[in-house]
Amino acid sequence: MKNVLITGSSGLIGSEVAVFFHARDFFVHGLDNNQRAVFFGSQGDTRWRQYQLTGQLTNFRHHELDIRDRAGMLELVKELRPACIIHAAAQPSHDRAADIPFDDFDTNAVGTLNLLEASRQFCPEAPFIHMSTNKVYGDLPNTIPLKELKTRWDYADPAYANGIPETFSIDQSKHSLFGASKVAADIIVQEYGRYFKMPTCCLRGGCLTGPNHSGVELHGFLSYLVKCNLEQIEYTIFGYKGKQVRDNIHSEDVASFAYAFYLEPRCGEVYNLGGGKENTCSILEAFSLVGELSGKKQKYRYLDQPRIGDHICYYSDLSKMKSHYPQWNITKNLHQIVEEIVQSWEARGNK
């Protein structure tokens, strides 16, 4: 039985990947130290998901480790020599990063380097899949001409009719400190692939979401919005008239792409991984969709102050992914995603 090592295994993507690979006869080694609760408080706690995994997956082992622990990473990878590594651990909030710049950079950039070097020393042939972010593009997407519609912004330039491609520049733009630390991680993952010819890829995620997300205000757009609706908590819109657009992809579709890359790896690749144009929505449109499913009207307030480095409109051009991996595709549409999130929060008692 092959080992797979998943960092951030109690989080949304890590836990989904754990279930997906376990179903394909891998022994899953999950690495997580519940740092999300440190970053976001009790609402960000992911222990509940850790306990689910240990209780439901026969071939699963939890490792209480921090990716900033360089010696610990070297020792674990040497022991396991995994057939694949999925790196989903991160400090994920560009707002939070400004308050904890050292923790943010040490986690996102240095932690990634620790894991890459351990991989190079002990399992250089193992595909290394890094969960990057669309924030590596900084606020440069905001320079694309936009058109304002009734409930959303959209690209006015036909060159971006299908979204942002991987060729879009990541340079000379405002990223937020989170975006900068993720750029560093993204580039070093590419470099280990290109320089050492290791099978690595960066998945520059849009809004990765799903029913197992512990969404909070600073991270987890759809999940947190649903939680606010169900509990009738006031949701805060930060600028852009609530018409800012995101593409949303179900965590299961993320996991299936990770598996596709494992089966046919490439060296130093980059992919924009999101729901694509078909799975886009603005905040205002999300209010309507969630309200239709819950029967509750969204309570919100508007602050005419956008988040620093935030995108007005962003959705992923999936052309490159689909050309390299034609067997992969989006399987969950936006309505299905939101419906699952509503059901999940209701099942958790909205806690």
Eight-class DSSP state of 171 = S
Structure pTM? 0.94
Tell me the C-alpha distance between 223 and 147, whole Å.
27
- Model pLDDT, residue 92: 85
Spatial contact of 104 and 178, defined as CB atoms under 8 Å apart: yes
For the chain, which residues make up each domain, given as ranges? 2-347
Q: Considering only CA atoms, which of 263, 127, 139, 105 is closest in space to residue 202?
A: 127
- Model pLDDT, residue 44: 80
pLDDT in tens, 144-159: 999 999 999 999 999 9
| 2-347 topology per CATH | Rossmann fold (3.40.50)
Return phi, psi of residue 6, to 5°: -125, 120
* pLDDT lower than 70: segments of the chain: 218, 350-351
- Model pLDDT, residue 218: 66
- Model pLDDT, residue 350: 46
pLDDT in tens, 33-58: 998 888 888 878 889 899 999 999 99
Residue in the block written with tokens 């999925």: 86
Eight-class DSSP state of 48 = H
DSSP symbols for 264-329:
S--SSEEEEES--GGGEEEHHHHHHHHHHHHS-PPPEEEES-PPTT--SB--B--HHHHHH-TT--
Q: List residues bridging with 168 in a β-sheet.
A: none
Tell me the C-alpha distance between 334 and 330, whole Å.
10
